[in-house]
Structure 1
Amino acid sequence: MKAPLSWIKDYVDVPAHVTTDELTRRLTLTGLKLEAVESPGREITGPLVIGRVLTMEPEPQKNGKTINWCTVDVGDANGTGEPQGIVCGAHNFAPGDLVVTVLPGGVLPGGFAIGARKTYGHLSAGMICSARELGLGEDHDGIIVLPPDAGEPGQDVRPVLGLDEEVIELEVNPDRAYALSLRGIAREALVSVEGADRFRDPAVRDTPAPNADGHPVVVEDPAGCPVFVARKVTGFDPTAPTPDFMVRRITAAGMRPISLAVDVTNYVMLETGRPIHGYDADKVQGAIVVRRAREGERLTTLDGTTRELDPADLVVTDDSGIIGLGGVMGGETTEMSGSTTSILVEAAHWDAVSMFRTGRRHKITSEAGRRNERGVDPTICEAAADRVVELLVEHGGGQAHPGVTVVGSPPAVPAIRMAADLPQRVAGLPIDSRTVVASLQAVGCRVDADGADVEVVPPPWRPDLTDPQDLTEEVIRLVGYDAIPSVLPTPPSGRGLTRAQRLRRRIGRTLAGEGFVEVVSFPFVGASDLDDLGLTADDPRRDLLELSNPLNAEAGFLTSTLLPGLLRTAGKNVGHGNDDVAIFETATVTLPRHAGPAAILPVDRRPTDEEFAALDAALPAQPLHLAVVAAGDADSGGWWGESRPVTWADAVEAVRSVAAALGLEVTASAVELAPWHPGRCAELSVDGEVVGHAGEVHPTVCQAFGLPKRSVAAEVDLDLLMARAVDLRRAPSFSSYPVAKEDVALVVDTGVPAAEVEQALREGAGELLESIRLFDVYTGEQVGPGRKSLAYALRFRAPDRTLKEGEAAAARDSAVALAAERTGATQRA
């Protein structure tokens, strides 16, 4: 809200020593935040004076344009006292008129410097200014013609135009709609600034009593429109200009002057906060009826848009049909125009919730709707309408019709009971009951003290005051937010991290140590993302939970896998020149249970255990997953050696490292699953339960996400891993006795996983086995087609003794025998 300082002071006396900075500081402290302090003439420098037009000679030009060669008396402002020769293209003035003249050396808004220059065959020394050129409005087709008594030629015109006026721009919260008016801001200045007094309420005036001569009005929906006031002005001169003071104030407040009839309604709205609408009375047919719209009805509003109305919309109608969208925007059929001589003034109070919904439904934003949807004083409709009539008569030459229509009455404001010491308890300040009463009375409340409580009736312009907490805020803001002591509460002793937090930190540290960087992705996907992953139509990961209001129409589902977001992030890094990428993410995925929608429970009681269970059942499963993606080189090359590209084994090893950090051991076996490459995908299990997959990403998936071929990825269910995790890690015990080394090479079919052979060797070797490691894989003529040789290094050691000769060999033979039994392995010679 923009408010000229002089307009504020029309309604409240502010001590002379209070500067603009102090006024705005106090307003900010009590809830109206300062956005800016502007001055229309701040950008204008140099000589800007009153000039009197002496002569005006029209000169047609070859381009069809007619310019005026003028001589203008500017007194002694030009240093010579001689008339100034100026070329002007406007035609809305005549010899003898007083105009605004900027002389050479002046600079207008936008850095437009004025000098003497030759144009249209004349030396033009200055400019006769329009409102737009001075930054006072949008009118540039006609220059500003000053009143005959504005001053003498050569006099500085700044005070005449109010260019030195300071305009305060305030940020008004939605619950303080009363401050969207000069009436409300002046009232805030009264209670905010020490020494301010004599508040003159522009909405307090004697108004004529309702009578039977007014325009007939019927309100069919009193809940939506509790008050409707109608007044009429006849004999109005549609060519009458808007007075200069009104133009200046409307423009300074951020609105555009249009015509006297429209400007008066806007001026009164800015003054009182009450939106007003004017109809061309000669176009209104019969009685006005306020009702809800009916199915299929339409209205062409003032902005030229034809709108399909909703049955929840409040509309204003006459015998011809709908003529306005109540409280939001009028209709074209009764719009005031340049020929309007009879004006019907409407000042109605509308239900704020209905106004808000109608405005959003039709995507209409207007100054009137902005106020109506936040709540306006319902008791000032008659005063606002009377003020509009007064201004139209005074400046438009009209006559006030004797008829006055008032339908309905303002809704009653309920009383609020509050403990007198509540503000003190909330703020931690010594606020006595007298201060509470005085503060609430200062903002317009009616207060009755009743022992330890107070009964408060909020003023009608404050619909935001509905409970004791609202009243407490009013008291505290007037006492001063800056007076509230800054006391930090004593925090309770910490309970430490939860088990899940400890494990997640352990996982993060492990992956960081392996060279991975953590990222956070949006949890939203679309069907195209799953197509890019190469998922089949029956893949369970395509069962997604749809969002009712997605941020992006192309990503309208909660993801069931972390891979789309992680692959996309890796692809963006590669696209920006970061060829070597290793990233990970831990986040929940969403797996629908299809238990039906959750029931809407009442709020007047605690839900039963069965209702809680039903709510939980309706929620989707949200397990915690871990995903990693790597591309490029795993080890960089240099003088120390060649680089090593990532392989599917790096993805498996990343999961093995996480599992080892949790005290678990992962078993890998071959499987085929999108988005991994067939034959290069491992199914990862712990104690026989599948926890995830890892391997090389399929080339088509790499291409879809902008990754190089042979990029790798893994995704596991962290909930499953953490459920089995060892909380207390014990340091391993080491034997000081010598180790016995045994190597075996086993030949198996190429389709037998090395992990199965290793598991069989581990079980067959018994307790003496300390470690086992696959160190060579061979395929070739020596083992025959369809076969492969797996070489393992077995290490045996006893914790309490040196192994005797033959013990290690016996354990080795036992291991080989079990591997042969389970996998068909034969020992290679």
Structure 2
Amino acid sequence: MKCCSICRVKRQASVRGKSTVNILLEGAAWNFINIRRTAKQHNLPSEASFRFSRGVHPAMAEGGVSLGLKYMAEWAGGAVALDLVDAYPLPPKDAVVEITVNDVKRWLGIDLTLEEISNLLSRLEFKSTITNNQLQVTSPNHRMDIGEGVVGVADVLEEVARSYGYDNIPTTTMADALPPQVGNPIHEWEEHLRDLLVALGLQEVVSYRMTSPEKESRITHYDEYVRLANPIAPEKSVLRRSLVASVIDSLEKNIRYSEAFSFFEIGSVFVPHKNELPDEPRKLAIAMTGLREATAWDVKDSPTLDFFDLKGRIELMLSGLRLTNITYTATSSYSHLHPGKAAEVKAGGQVIGAFGEMHPLVKEQYELGDSPVLVAEFDLDIMRAISPTYGIKTIPETPSMYEDIAVIVDESVKAETVEALIRQTGGRSVTNVRLFDLYRDEKIGEGKKSLAYALTYQAEDKTMTDADAAAIRNKIVKRLEKELGSKLRS
């Protein structure tokens, strides 16, 4: 008897010799999960693993052997043994799914009888019987993707829709009214804040809430933490108490990949309480460093980001949140901020955050390059509790007047103090005050500095003249001389 065989390996193989008269055919099936797992683990893809990893029903083994014996008998003239040895200790049970007319109506929106449903499924080789107003459906051996229970009902209904034709299913509207949509004000407020920060050129980072006391101690020191009973790693043994530390960690990991970074993160910190659940205040942290502008062939020295770049973004952020009566006060209360380059932010007299340049001693503990690192942290719970103010005023019909004044004051006098006195003295006639220059020189005196402000004058009921502006300016200069001992710089 002659027999042809196809070998799947690259070397030659012999399946019979000249004296061979008996050939045994074996058909087998394997657990497709084990096949897929083993092929992936050993990186040995093959035609057989590709086929069997997708599932072959064990009942198909007998059909394959019978078909092979049939062809061998027809083509080689051999005789097929009468008996078939079947080692099938745990044959799988065929999945039986029960569906009703109501199921088809509810899920597909079409009216079909059980006989029509059975006819549609028979086209796809599904076997079905009608029992007690239910259709019991048995999937064919080659459809191992059909499940059981609720999943099986969905699978069979999908086959009904496919056989019926998607184009034949009528379009219908929802019968029930939509339930009332209840929003999440906190989530919506934070999403608005995210949009504002992204529009200002910042990128959001999301970091792990788990950290270690050693990592956070580089920024600030806390005695108590919420500790995990079963941490996944020593460096993730506690829940964070500082969001700034998380953002700085992200900055340190990415510092080599670009010339400038502007990161922010919104998240919770965890403040422990003995025998109670921890508080989880929401915080905003910002970190910026690097060049203000991208380098170019015609730019020799591009300036780096500084304190005022961060302050400008914070002002725009608070303006976008409709928070008014904002004041900035120099502070040295935050150990991770440079004492001379840090400010506390208040809204209506209530502290909402602080920002500034990172303290040099703190920066030394990180690998953050040579550029200044600017950081900020805000308490979102306090900010969200402040009612936004929507200022509405009429468009002025009179023109504005602009004037610059420079005053010499002691080094200890704060610029915000001078600005506050100018606004108080000018009243409603001074609509804007902007500091645009700080000057120090031996000519103006030791321990002195010059502050230059741009003033905007405008009257609501008339066109302001030079005499009107001069009168307001003289009042401002006299008050500054009286309360601060300042002199008008010529």
User: Which residue of the partner structure matches residue 221 of structure 2?
Assistant: 536
Give the SS at the match of 2:436. Answer: strand
Q: Does 1:592 align with 2:271?
A: yes
Query: Which AA in structure 2 matches 1:573?
Result: N
**Partner of residue 788 from structure 1, selected from 429, 432, 449:** 449
Deviations 1:254-286 (A, max 9, x none): xxxxxxxxxxxxx88xx3289xxxxxxxxxxxx
1:427, 1:727 → 2: CA distance? 52
What is the DSSP-based 3-state SS (H/G/I as helix, E as strand, rest coil) of the residue aligned with 1:799? Answer: coil
Structure 1 residues 424 and 765: alpha-carbon distance in aligned structure 2, compared to 1, 3 A threshold: same
What secondary structure is seen at the aligned counterpart in 2 of 1:520? coil
Q: Structure 1 residues 547 and 732 mapped into 2: Cα distance closer, same or farther (>3 Å)?
A: farther
Indicate whether 1:555 and 2:233 are aligned: no
Contact 1:547 1:557 in 2 (8 A): yes
Residues 700-759 of structure 1, C-alpha deviations (whole Å, 9 max, x = no match): 433433212412122223443344464767688355424052514141343x43223322
Q: Percent identity between the aligned chains?
A: 22
Q: 1:480 to 1:653 in 2, by over 3 A?
A: closer
Structure 1 contact 571–706 (Cα < 8 Å) conserved: yes
The aligned amino acid for 1:701 is V
Structure 2 residue aligned with 1:483, among 145, 161, 164? 161
**Unaligned regions of 5+ residues in structure 1, if any?**
1-38, 52-74, 76-148, 173-183, 194-244, 250-266, 275-375, 377-416, 457-468, 598-617
Change (3 A) 1:810 1:723: farther
Q: Distance in 2 between matches of 1:496 and 1:626?
A: 26
Q: Secondary structure at the match of 1:645?
A: coil
Q: In the aligned structure 2, how far is the partner of 1:436 from the partner of 1:660?
A: 63
Q: Deviations over 1:496-548 (max 9, x none)?
A: 98766775565445434443333333333221221221x1345xxxx544445
Indicate the residue corresponding to 2:32 in structure 1.
170
Contact 1:680/1:696, CA 8 A, preserved across alignment: yes
Q: Give the 3 Å change call, closer, same or farther, for CA 753–187 of structure 1 in structure 2.
A: farther
User: Helix, strand or coil for the counterpart of 1:49?
Assistant: coil
Q: Which of 256, 260, 266 in structure 2 is aligned with 1:575?
A: 256
Structure 2 CA distance for partners of 1:510 and 1:590, relative to 1, 3 Å: closer
Structure 2: gaps of 5 or more residues: 35-55, 64-83, 137-146
Q: Is the 8 A contact 1:558 1:589 kept in 2?
A: no
- DSSP 3-state at the match of 1:663: coil
Write the deviation string for residues 221-261 of structure 1: whole angstroms up to 9, x where unpaired: xxxxxxxxxxxxxxxxxxxxxxxx99xx9xxxxxxxxxxxx
Q: Which residue of 1 aligns with 2:202?
A: 516
What is residue 328 of structure 2 aligned with on the other side?
Answer: 668
Residue of structure 2 in register with 1:48 after alignment: 14
CA deviations 1:170-218 (Å, max 9, x no partner) are 359xxxxxxxxxxx9558999xx9xxxxxxxxxxxxxxxxxxxxxxxxx
Q: Residue 566 of structure 1 is aligned with which of 244, 247, 259? A: 247
Who is 2:340 aligned against? 679
2 CA distance for matches of 1:435 and 1:189? 33
In structure 2, C-alpha distance between the alignment counterparts of 1:652 and 1:780, rounded to whole Å: 26
**2:117/2:160 contact within 8 Å kept:** no
Q: CA deviation at 1:434?
A: 8.7
In the TM superposition, 1:368-407 aligns within 5 A as: none
Are the equivalent residues in 2 in contact too, given 1:741–1:793 (CA < 8 A)?
A: yes
Higher strand share: 1
Contact 2:281 2:381 in 1 (8 A): no
Paired letter, 2:221? T
1:618-655 deviation digits (Å, cap 9, x = unpaired): 573342x3322221211345436742111122222221
Q: Determine which of 410, 431, 437 is the counterpart of 1:770.
A: 431
Establish whether residue 757 from structure 1 lines up as the match of residue 418 from structure 2. Answer: yes
- Which of the two has greater helix per residue? 2
Mapping of 1:733-744 within 5 angstroms? Answer: 733-744=395-406
Determine the structure 1 residue equivalent to 2:473.
812
Counterpart mapping for 1:414-429 below 5 A: 421=102, 425-426=106-107, 428=109
Counterpart of 1:611 in structure 2 is none
Change over 3 Å in CA distance of 1:727–1:669 after alignment to 2: closer
Which residue number corresponds to residue 378 of structure 2? 716
Do the aligned partners of 2:29 and 2:57 also contact (CA within 8 Å) in 1?
Answer: no
Q: What CA distance in whole angstroms lies between the structure 2 residues aligned with 1:677 and 1:40?
A: 78
Assess, with a 3 A threshold, how the Cα gap between structure 1 residues 471 and 711 changes in structure 2: closer, same or farther: closer
Matched with 1:141 is: none
State the SS of the aligned residue for 2:352: strand
Q: Distance in 1 between matches of 2:60 and 2:16?
A: 37
CA distance in 2, matches of 1:580, 1:431: 65
> Do the aligned partners of 1:682 and 1:695 also contact (CA within 8 Å) in 2?
yes
**Aligned letter for 1:656?**
E
Mapped partners of 2:192, 2:394: distance in 1: 18
Deviation by residue 1:777-802 (Cα, 9 ceiling, x = unmatched): 23444455444332322221113312
The within-5 A match list for 1:126-205 is: 151=20, 160=24, 162=26, 167=29, 170-171=32-33
Are 2:314 and 1:651 aligned?
A: no
Q: How far 1:555 moved relative to its partner? A: 1.8
Amino acid paired to 2:329? S
In 2: Cα distance, 1:697 partner to 1:490 partner: 59
Q: Distance in 1 between matches of 2:467 and 2:388?
A: 36
Secondary structure, aligned partner of 2:354? strand
Question: Could you give the per-residue CA deviations for residues 296-347 of structure 1, whole angstroms, max 9, x where no partner exists?
Answer: xxxxxxxxxxxxxxxxxxxxxxxxxxxxxxxxxxxxxxxxxxxxxxxxxxxx
Give the Cα separation in 1 of the matches to 2:480 and 2:233: 55
The residue type equivalent to 1:594 in the other structure is: H
> Matched residues in 1 for 2:455 and 2:421: separation?
13
Amino acid at match of 1:528: E
- TM-score, L = length of structure 1: 0.42
Q: Distance in 2 between matches of 1:421 and 1:536?
A: 65
Q: TM-score, normalised by structure 2?
A: 0.66
**Cα 1:560/1:167, change in 2 over 3 Å:** same
**Which residue type is aligned with residue 215 of structure 2?**
D
Separation in 2, partners of 1:791, 1:781: 17
> Could you give the per-residue CA deviations for residues 533-572 of structure 1, whole angstroms, max 9, x where no partner exists?
1x1345xxxx544445555441233433332232222223
8 Å contact from structure 2 (residues 241, 270) kept in 1? yes
Match of 1:627 among 265, 275, 285: 285
Query: Structure 1 residues 494, 701: closer, same or farther in 2, change over 3 A?
Result: farther
